[in-house]
């Protein structure tokens, strides 16, 4: 059985879910972190090419790791990691 690439509609739906989840944890829609994530997702929606991105969240002292898949049946992963603790 061959792997089928995600459709444009699947990539769009996945992207909306990621952006909504980011807003739900309190990230502002006009923040650099949100806009950087959205720019990566916009490119992925158009191209369908998989990718891994590290997105700094300096305002929150964190970093996000985002993995965007190529094939249907796989889900994008967006993990907001804890940053180094400042003493």
Q: Is residue 2 part of a domain?
A: no
Q: Considering the chain, what is the average pLDDT of its residues?
A: 93
The helix (H) or strand (E) run that includes residue 56 is strand 51-57
Q: Is residue 69 part of a domain?
A: yes
The per-residue pLDDT for 59 is: 84
- How many domains, the chain? 1
Q: Is residue 1 part of a domain?
A: no
Over residues 26-52, mean pLDDT = 97
Q: How far apart are CA 47 and CA 43, in angstroms?
A: 6
Pairwise pLDDT comparison (2 vs 55), residue with the higher score: 55
Q: For residue 83, name the pLDDT band (cuts at 50, 70, 90).
A: low
Q: How far apart are CA 25 and CA 7, in angstroms?
A: 28
Contact between 56 and 34 (Cβ < 8 Å): no
What is the extent of the structural domain holding 67? 8-82
Instruction: Quote the radius of gyration of the chain (alpha carbons, Å).
Output: 14
Q: For residue 37, name the pLDDT band (cuts at 50, 70, 90).
A: very high
The helix (H) or strand (E) run that includes residue 6 is none
Over residues 39-46, mean pLDDT = 98
């Amino acid at each position: 059985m061959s792997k089928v690439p995600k459709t444009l509609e699947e990539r769009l739906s996945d992207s909306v879910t990621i952006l909504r989840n980011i807003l739900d944890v309190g990230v502002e829609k006009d923040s650099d972190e949100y806009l950087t994530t959205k720019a990566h997702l916009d490119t992925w929606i158009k191209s369908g090419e998989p990718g891994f991105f590290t997105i700094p969240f300096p305002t929150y002292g964190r970093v996000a790791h985002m993995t965007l898949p190529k094939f249907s049946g796989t889900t994008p992963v967006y993990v907001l990691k804890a940053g180094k603790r400042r003493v």
